[in-house]
Every structure is written in structure tokens, then in C-alpha cells.
Amino acid sequence: MAFTVTHIVRFQHCDPAEIVFYPRYYEMLNATIEEWFETRLSCSFAEIHGPMGRGVPTVAHETRFLKPSRLGERLDFTLTPKRLGGSSVTLNVEATCGSEPRVSFTATLVWFAKADGRPRPWPEGLRAGIETEMEGEAL
């Protein structure tokens, strides 16, 4: 059950080469993950970083920038969870413009406590939610 968020390439994303500046792609990636947590896992970043005292920092990226994106284009970011660990999750996110691939991200995140900056096991609800998302994918 793929999850897709559309980002429009705005002026703020573009550099003097008139293409998306890559740190801005990572902002779009982060916003996609944020919406996925909120929509599919029923757990907003406001709850995570506020009352729960947790965070989900990224520990690894593998990214291929396949073709540049230009001002005004609509990019679909499609997220699929790939691997679930005790306190981590690896996500694949494909950014496309129409049928054309633009960026392919693999991002690994860790569930951690803000108090000591150390990983924690996923809470049961989140673990179950991610598993459901992965099963949807496997079918």
C-alpha cells in the first residue's frame, strides 16, 4: 500500500543552475516521512517530539539523483518501508515527475529518546503499524 505525497518545486527549492538544490530534496523527503507517520502510523511528529519525548533521526542515506527537477514541476514522493529492526526502519522513497524517475532514496531512521540520545525499541503500536504497511507492500 504505497504512500505518496506530491511536492511542487517552488522558487525556494531552486539554485542558480535553475534546478532543485539537493538539500531541498531532503526537506521534501523529510516532509514525506513526517506525513507518513501522521497519516499511516497515526503518530505525528508533534506528538513524538513533544509529549512522547522521542525523535526519529536518520542514521543512513543512499541516494541517487537521476535527473534534475525544475521550477514549477510536480514531484510525487512514494514511500515504501523495506526493513524493520528493533529500533530502526529502512524506507525506500522514489521521487518521480509523471513517469520519469528523478531521485531514489533509501533512508534508515532510528527511534530514540531525546533525554539521552539513545535508541529505544519501537512502541508496540508503531511496530504493528509499520508491519501492516510492509505486508501491504509484500502482497
List of residues contacting its own copies (CB under 8 A): 10-12, 14-19, 21-24, 26-27, 30-31, 34, 44-46, 49-50, 55, 57-66, 68, 70-72, 114, 117
Nearer to its own copies, 108 or 132 (CB): 108
Rg (CA), the chain: 16
The DSSP call for residue 73 is: -
Give min distance, CB of 134 to its own copies, in A. 23
- The single residue listed with the C-alpha cell 542514521 is 59
Give min distance, CB of 61 to its own copies, in A. 4
**Whole-number Å distance between alpha carbons of 35 and 6:** 11
33: closest CA among 114, 101, 102, 108? 108
Nearer to its own copies, 27 or 131 (CB): 27
42: cell is: 497515526
Nearer to its own copies, 72 or 135 (CB): 72
Nearer to its own copies, 52 or 134 (CB): 52
Contact 110, 59 (CB under 8 A): yes
